[in-house]
Chains A and B, each alone.
Chain A
């Protein structure tokens, strides 16, 4: 009997010692993640590395598309329960959740020391009244994607530097589009009329530092500059060089990834588009796409804008905030881990301390051995501040998209359509 007692005692002592060893890491329990791009962490072994560093923490990923993530988070915040520990939110929707009183955890004290390490503009949606509620993940530097084979067919240069020079402004872009249309019959880019979603218009506003409202909370949707911007896009519709394919539908994928007469020659979109082209949309035509700088609105102006980009937040209902914060730090604030993700998916880190990494100058076989990452990086550094995202983004985008549809189908002038949208936004929000 005493033998068993001894063994029992030894076991207890060993267990106690073991727990002392583990006690150095106070984090434990499960953290649940909601979102759609955690594959850059799970497929690259970063989740395993995090779990190895914190042996008592278990990471559980729940994959929801963006729309479902927001609806479920909204419901969890309203109900006061059911929220995950970490949630992915795009910058476009972040301010709406920050404004949802007590939905996200205030992490100001934690992020204060690292504010300078990230792209400055990424913080604006994460902040309200001097408090911070999210950590930036990736930026969305907008570049000019073009089909080298179609450019060659049209007798145009195909190397990145020459194409950048060729499309130096939106006016020159139109000339290029017309040339392509006349010589090859290919459309220049997809920008549907009656089903427009407003994203390209927002990109064109962003590069000029324009937007939907100003610092004083006045609606600027129908400003003279905005009207001129919409009319510039109108010139492309008038010239008949665009296609009607709606983004993220099958016909759009076919236009971007095909070689037939339906395929489209260019695309103005953020760097995260690169990985979609590379891995599935245009995976069958490696070496066809190239990357250059997006056109400036007028000669000599900025050739950089932002579209999309995500952040990670901790819902207020999370009961494992310390582990969640450790997770976010591990994935987003450690340069090497951001680079690992970048190598996987080309989502440009918002963490600027990564920007000296040699990975940026590596040639990319999919883009015909060009070095697109250098362009992403250069663009990210020049993105101006613009008031497009914000608390009312979803509502404003809805009204502006309707205005663009009315203008592009000839129902209203650009001025009237945007004024109508601006009035609706003034009526329905606190903006004036």
Chain B
């Protein structure tokens, strides 16, 4: 039997024809195609789909990670609705989302526009520098930020001290802890979003801008009337990613607030993602953790739907 190594190549097509069985060609080709894509589906079924469904079953149980799974109906949902810490974690996520996302989108879009221009000297170097934090290990970065933001001896407060400004309790009060977290997340993720925006900008046909300029549009008008509308799908993508990211922060928290295992002062930085982990792996409440996961999924899903409604293509 002949094994077609490259089913789409012309030599193979000819080989198939010469065999005189043109009907088999598409079948055989799709069989090989299925084989080639099957690793993904296989892995997804084991590591994606199965946990998803298993976790759904667990969300109706009080499983502690070992032994029989007792179904307890909607008890977890009842607990969840009356769990102030879960709702605080949702509010924390929302707070971070509301403060972080607009800054992130404006900054990354702004930087992308500036660095998209070939007139900026050394634009490649700047792109690299801005992207660098994204590939930096977050555990190490969090540790360094924790040192920088130390109230008594951190560099930030020492710099403020030079200007006789009183030290800021960066990591010690609920409000400042969230602000500091947003600073760290911005630092870490701005480069990634800037690259997405850059890719989006480069898909905008140059002649549109030129035509507008010929018609007498100023640079600002071009930006707001042409760039932004055309960038809508890209901005939406970036927005959805940061929405999910805000509620799902984990490594950033654990490395910036090690003393409270990521929860921060008065649980002010506890996100649903971290709460799920704490309930499951800290308190052995896998059933409850799964219920939290599904509730949190539904809420974030709704938020993303709303975002699509306002920014999606259908609405233009």
In the assembled complex, which residues on chain A have CB atoms less than 8 Å from the CB atom of B278? 398
**Within residues 254 to 310 of chain B, which ones have a CB less than 8 A from any CB in chain A?**
257-261, 264-267, 278, 281-285, 288
Chain B proximity mask over A388-432: 1 for CB below 8 Å, otherwise 0: 000010110010011001100101000000000000100110000
* Residue of A197, A249, A411 touching B266 (CB-CB under 8 A): A411
Judged by a CB distance under 8 angstroms, whether A251 is at the interface is yes
- Interface residues in B74-99 by Cβ distance below 8 A to A read 79, 82-85
A40 to B282, CA, bound (A): 28
Query: Are A405 and B266 in contact (CB-based, < 8 A)?
Result: yes
In residues 154-207 of chain A, which contact B (Cβ within 8 Å)? 192, 194-195, 197
Stretch from A99-107, A118-126, A217-225, A356-364 contacting the other chain:
A99-107
User: In the complex, A164 Cα to B264 Cα: how many Å?
Assistant: 36
Tell me if B213 counts as interface (CB < 8 A to partner A): no
| A194 and B266 within 8 A (CB) | yes
B151 interface neighbour in A244, A248, A398, Cβ under 8 Å: A244
Q: Is the CB of A194 within 8 A of B284?
A: no
**Residues A192 and B259 in contact, CB atoms below 8 Å apart:** yes
Residues of A within 8 A of B288 (CB): 428
Chain B residues with CB under 8 A of A406: 266
- Minimum CB distance partner of B82 in chain A: A427
Bound-state CA distance A411–B83 (Å) is: 19
| B 51-93 binary contact with A (CB < 8 Å = 1; else 0) | 0000000000000111100000000000100111100000000
**A246–B259 touching, CB < 8 Å:** yes
Say whether B313 faces chain A, with CB atoms less than 8 Å apart: no
We find that the number of chain B residues with CB closer than 8 angstroms to chain A is 36
Known: A195-B172, A195-B259, A428-B79. A96 touches B284 (CB 8 A): yes
B108 interface contact, C-beta 8 A: no
Q: Answer whether residue A254 sits at the interface, using C-beta atoms and an 8 A cutoff.
A: yes
| Most chain A CB inside 10 Å of its own CB: which residue of B146, B282, B288 | B282
Complex CA–CA separation, A70 to B284 (angstroms)? 11
Q: How large is the interface on A (under 10, 10 to 19, 20 to 34, 35 or more residues)?
A: 35 or more
Interface pair B281/A74, CB less than 8 Å apart: yes
Task: Point out the residues of chain A lying under 8 angstroms from B283, CB to CB.
Answer: 392, 394-395, 398
B67 near A102 (CB under 8 angstroms)?
yes
Count CB-based A-B contacts (< 8 Å): 90
A405 touches B82 (CB 8 A): no
Most chain A CB inside 10 Å of its own CB: which residue of B66, B82, B153, B258? B66
Q: Does A247 contact B (CB under 8 A)?
A: yes
Known: A78-B65, A103-B66. A262 touches B265 (CB 8 A): no
Task: Report yes or no: B266 in contact with A251, Cβ–Cβ below 8 A.
Answer: no
A395 contacts across to B, CB distance below 8 A: 282-283, 285
Of B83, B169, B260, B267, which is within 8 A of A246 by CB?
A: B260
Alpha-carbon distance between A161 and B1 when the two chains are bound, in angstroms: 92
Is the C-beta of A129 less than 8 angstroms from some C-beta in chain B?
A: no
A215 contacts chain B at the CB level, 8 A cutoff? no
Contact B153 A251 (CB under 8 A): yes
Is B246 engaged at the interface, CB distance under 8 Å to the other chain?
no
B305 to chain A, nearest CB (A): 32
CA distance A248 to B152 in the complex (A): 16
| A100 interface neighbour in B65, B85, B260, Cβ under 8 Å | B65
Residues of B near any A CB (own CB < 8 A):
64-67, 79, 82-85, 146-147, 150-153, 169, 171-174, 257-261, 264-267, 278, 281-285, 288
Given A100-B67, A405-B267, A424-B85, 13 more pairs with CB closer than 8 A: A74-B65, A192-B172, A194-B265, A195-B259, A195-B260, A246-B258, A250-B147, A251-B153, A395-B282, A395-B283, A395-B285, A405-B265, A427-B79
11 A-B contact pairs sorted by A residue (CB < 8 Å): A70-B281, A78-B66, A192-B259, A194-B174, A249-B258, A254-B153, A395-B285, A398-B278, A401-B260, A405-B265, A405-B267
